[in-house]
Amino acid sequence: MGGEAVSAAKGNSGGGAKSGIVLDSRLLGVVAVAVLFIISLYLWTLPFQKNRLPFGEGDAAWHFAIGDHIASSDKADFRLPYYVGVWYFGYNRILGAFAPEYPPPNHVNYALMQIFGGERFVPLMIYRAFASFLGVFAVFFLVSRLFGVLSGFLAGLGLSFSIREQLTSLFGQQPALTSLVITPVTTYAWYAYLASFYDAHAAGGINAGSSQDGQRGGRKIYLYLAFALLASQFLLHMQGFVASSVIMAVFTIAMAVKFRKLPVSRSNIKAFAVAAIMLAIVAAPFLAIYFGTPDTQGTGFSFSLPRLLQWGISPESVQGSFPAAFVQFSAEYGKFLLPFLFAGIALLILRLFLVRNNSRELFLLSWLIGTYIILHLDVFTGASVPRLARMLVIENYAFFSLIALSVVWIPQTISSILKLDAWLASAAKYSLAAVLLFVLLSNGWGQTSDRLKAAYGGLERITPIQAEFASGFLAKLPEKAFVYDPVLPSVGGFPYTTWRYAKMRWMLAISQRYVGRDVPEKSLNRVADRNEVYELFDYSDLAVMASSSDEGTKQLGMALGSELRKIEVQMFNNTTPLYDNNNIRLYRYPMPVENSSALEAAT
Amino acid sequence: MIRIGRDYAAWLVAMVVIAAVAFALFGMPGFRAIVGITVLFALPVLLLLKNTGLDAEEKVFFSLFAGIGLFPLAAWLVNRAVPSFRLSAVLALAGFVAAGFFAQRISARLRKLQ
């Protein structure tokens, strides 16, 4: 394969550039990153540019609560604080109650951002957005290193409008996403290592260029970095680690077949051992966190031909966990992007056969094969499909890369067949890039902006009244207070209890006191201080609904308020509430709880 | 004296521009968040990679993506021994700075010996 793979790994996208041009391309890369960063920062922070209260589903509140506790207590414990530990009480079968569900880095990062940012919500939410749109830069890095800044920029721009990544981030599953976004960088490091290894092998280990490029065993710095990045992914979320491992394994096999040699020799075996031991040292203390949870217990191989013939994940299989748009191909790739995508895939296949030094193309093919394997882990391991759905972002990275590469490959291929002048090919490339840029912006900007501006607006997010109640009153209750939020029957088909779930969890996070409704009896018996049980009646949202100009909303608010009032009267008639302000009332449960079943029946 | 190469200067300028945008959007917490991301996640590993044969772009990207998982682990580990989390984070950062400094000196010695 000659020096092509290594020159690509060294950042020479086109080859033959003079020093002045190389400097310009580097500066161009920095400018491209800055532009992508500013676009992503602006768009992805739209949900909290005006309303700076936190938002997201229960997961978002859960992650916030742990990081917030580290910052406020100035201590990063291995065990969860009481009010978080009760939430998924006894979830980990190995580590038991109050065990963490993630290794420390995610939540330590939240705490670091609160401390460094000097404010409770905004710096942490900026981190949440940043750690979610990092995929833009990971793909920019991968594509620009291998194929040039132009295609890298276009691929990154496409990702900044990705609905899948935005929804994952909005819902609060950002730690899984952050681990997954590292995959392009990890696999690039692995690509660079294998490319240099086989390059050195082909050259017989003779120093072909620099002292590092030609050394036997390849450039080991890339090997160490690949393992360090794997460690980083493992610490953030297991899914990113799995994704990188699968793609690296597929690419290793592809290169081993191509060169008819495994990438192992006496010269690199020590480096492999050192890197693997370092990874094991970092990972071992946290293995029980992942393997003690029910989510990692797959049901084993379950053959299903229709499923194997399907590329992605169907909306039916994630119903109740994600909206259909999350997995739908058409929601992610607009119809005007499809010609670019199909051209990219077709040209990738063509280049695999026509380009002699095709390691980069083999790498992209490995991404596609790896993505297929990852998206079918339900078949191979029995993994849960809604969990797998998050890994669909790996497909985005491959497809947006191919979409962007089509603008470079189409003119290049036509030019080599028709022997066109270089300037004509170049003009065609930039014209196509302009068309793709227009398609991306016209398709993505408006939709993304509207979607993110509207995210968790109005009553969908914790309101200032509720936040003030949580931080001003609930936070002063005893540390082991148990605050119950009543379950209301569905009125007019509106599932109020489900709708209120995330809000209730945000009240928990902000107050640092347990607020919930669905604690199993055995947990309650073990953890509740029976003299510190409280009942919450929050009419503040319902009052807003009842004063709405929309008749339907008004009736719904009044009906729900009436249902809640019935429970309140039944339980606390003639009792003075501890708190009564802004349509929120809190009562101490009238008697020591003898039996949690009685309490649950009452609520 | 701290010397910053041309490539790193470009990255630094980009970071300042991004931090300025964050300031325009969110005021001081926004500015501090961007500076925090740079100092806490990218800088620690960047110091370790300073003397490798990688180019500036590779160093910056590898540092950021490795640092976002590894630096908090270091702060958490220090906090096993040091009671204050804030102090632990500062000590972890100091550890990376020292490791970067000594790595440079050790590799310089080795080059001299060669």
Say whether both A443 and A480 belong to one domain: no
Claim to verify: residue A469 and residue A425 sit in the same structural domain: no
| A549 burial via Cβ count (<10 Å: 0-12, 13-18, 19+) | exposed
Which tokens is B85 given? 């989390």
B89 domain residue, yes or no? yes
Asked if A90 reaches chain B (Cβ–Cβ under 8 Å), the answer is no
**Partner B contacted by A11 (CB < 8 A):** yes
* pLDDT at res. A211: 46
Q: Is B36 within 8 Å of A76 when comparing Cβ atoms?
A: no
Number of domains chain B contains: 1
The answer to whether position A81 is within a domain reads no
What pLDDT is recorded for position A527?
63
| Residue A535 φ/ψ, nearest 5 degrees | -125, 130
Note down the domain range covering A268.
4-54+121-288+317-326+339-355+362-454
In chain A, residues with a C-beta closer than 8 Å to the C-beta of B34 are 126
Q: Where are the alpha helices (DSSP H) in A121-237?
A: 122-147, 149-160, 163-171, 174-181, 183-202, 220-236
Give yes or no for a contact between A174 and A432, defined as CB atoms under 8 angstroms apart. Answer: no
Provide the 10 A C-beta neighbour count for residue B39: 16
**The dihedral sign for the CA sequence A121, A127, A133, A135:** negative
Query: Residue A121 in contact with residue A72, Cβ under 8 Å?
Result: no
User: Which two structure tokens, joined as six digits, stand for A41?
Assistant: 């920062």
Could you tell me if residue A15 is left (phi over 0), alpha (psi between -120 and 50 degrees) or otherwise beta?
Answer: left
Q: By the 8 A CB rule, do A479 and A530 touch?
A: no
Residue A405 placed within a domain: yes
Counted residue by residue, chain A has a size of: 603
Q: Which residues of A touch B10 (CB under 8 A)?
A: 26-27, 30
On whether the CB atoms of residues A158 and A440 are closer than 8 A, the answer is yes
The DSSP string of A421-481 is -HHHHHHHHHHHHHHHHHHHHHHHHHHHHHHHHHTT-GGGS--HHHHHHHHHTGGGS-TT-
Return the H-helix or E-strand segment holding A249: helix A238-259
Residues A422 and A547 in one domain: no
- Residues A282, A235: contact at Cβ < 8 Å? yes
Domain coverage including residue B109: 6-113
User: Does B59 map to a domain?
Assistant: yes
Of A112, A221, A232, the CB nearest to B54: A221
- Give the C-alpha separation, A238 to A228, whole Å: 14
State which H helix or E strand residue A580 sits in. strand A579-581
Instruction: Identify the three-state secondary structure at position A4.
Output: helix
pLDDT tens per residue across span B51-78: 888 999 999 999 999 999 999 999 999 9
Nearest CA to A233 out of A106, A381, A133, A79 is that of A106
Contact A105 B79 (CB under 8 A): no
A116 to chain B, any CB pair closer than 8 A? The answer is: yes
Q: Under a CB-based contact definition with an 8 Å cutoff, are residues A544 and A536 in contact?
A: no
Q: What's the CA gap between A407 and A71, in Å, rounded?
A: 47
Name the closest residue on chain B to residue A230, using Cα atoms: B66
**Pair (A273, A397) in one structural domain:** yes
Residues B72 and A66: beta-carbon distance below 8 Å: no
Provide the residue type at A45 as one letter: T
pLDDT at position A593: 45
Residue A184 · residue A138 · CB < 8 Å:
yes
User: Is A556 inside a domain boundary?
Assistant: yes
Instruction: Let me know if residue A113 belongs to a domain.
Output: no
Cβ-Cβ contacts under 8 Å for A107 (sequence gap 6 or more)? A63, A66, A67, A70, A76
Q: How far is CA A389 from CA A271, A322, A340, A392, B39, in A?
A: 35, 9, 24, 5, 33
**Helices A105-117 and A220-236 meet at what angle, rounded to 10?**
90
Q: Is residue B12 part of a domain?
A: yes
The total number of structural domains that make up chain A: 2
Count Cα atoms within 13 angstroms, Cβ side, for B100. Answer: 15
Q: Which residues of B touch A212 (CB under 8 A)?
A: 53
CB A471 within 8 A of CB A511: yes
Least confident of A139-143, B80-84, B97-101, B104-108: B104-108
A350, two tokens = 């063509």
Q: Are A463 and A447 within one domain?
A: no
Q: In this predicted complex, what is the ipTM?
A: 0.93
Q: Which two tokens stand for residue A599?
A: 């309490």
Whether A427 is in a domain gets the answer yes
Provide the pLDDT for residue A523.
59
- Write down which residue in A407, A425, A454 finishes a domain: A454
CB contact under 8 A, B33 and A123: yes
The nearest alpha carbon in chain A to B71 belongs to: A105
Q: What is the per-residue pLDDT for A494?
A: 85
Amino acid letter for position A26: R
For A319-375, the three-class secondary structure string (H helix, E strand, C coil) is CCCCCHHHHCHHHHCCCCCHHHHHHHHHHHHHHHHHCCCCHHHHHHHHHHHHHHHHH
Same-domain pairing of A370 and A282:
yes
Averaged pLDDT, groups of 10, chain A, 603 residues long: 42 40 75 97 96 94 97 94 87 87 96 96 97 97 96 97 93 93 98 93 58 64 96 97 98 96 88 95 94 70 83 88 90 93 96 91 97 93 87 95 96 88 90 96 92 93 96 94 87 84 95 82 62 91 95 94 92 90 90 46 42
Looking at residue A586, the DSSP 8-state letter turns out to be E
Candidates A112, A145, A229; nearest CB to B66: A229
| Distance (Å, whole) CA A119 – CA B18 | 19
A86 located within any domain: no
A474 and A411 together in one domain: no
Same domain, A401 and A479: no
Count how many pairs of residues, chain A against chain B, have C-beta atoms within 8 Å: 171
Any domain includes A159: yes
Q: In the prediction, which pLDDT does A91 show? A: 82
Residues of A in contact with B35 (CB under 8 A): 116
Q: Do A443 and A582 have their domain in common? A: no
Q: Does some domain include residue B45? A: yes
Judge whether A565 and A515 are in contact, CB under 8 Å. Answer: no
Instruction: Assess whether A464 and A537 both reside in one domain.
Output: yes
C-alpha–C-alpha distance, residues A423 and A427, integer Å:
6
Same domain, A449 and A584: no
Phi/psi region, residue A260 (left: phi>0; alpha: psi -120 to 50; beta: rest), is left
In chain A, residues with a C-beta closer than 8 Å to the C-beta of B21 are: 38, 41-42
Query: Which domain-ending residue is among A454, A471, A505?
Result: A454
| Residue B10 to residue A30, Cβ atoms within 8 A | yes
Per the CB < 8 Å rule, is B32 touching A123?
yes
Q: Are residues A190 and A41 in the same domain?
A: yes
- Spell out which residues of chain B touch residue A145, defining contact as CB-CB under 8 Å: 57-58
Q: Is residue B1 part of a domain?
A: no
Residue B14 lies in a domain: yes
Q: Is the CB of residue A89 less than 8 Å from the CB of residue A97?
A: yes
Of the residues A403, A433, A454, which one is the last residue of a structural domain? A454
CB proximity A587 to B under 8 Å: no
Q: Taking CB atoms and an 8 Å cutoff, what residues of chain A touch B56?
A: 26
What number of other Cβ atoms are within 10 A of residue A419's Cβ? 7
Whether A232 and B84 lie within 8 Å, measured CB to CB: no
The amino acid at residue B24 is A
B65 closest CB neighbour out of A41, A118, A229: A229
Cβ within 8 Å of B, A 280-319 = 282
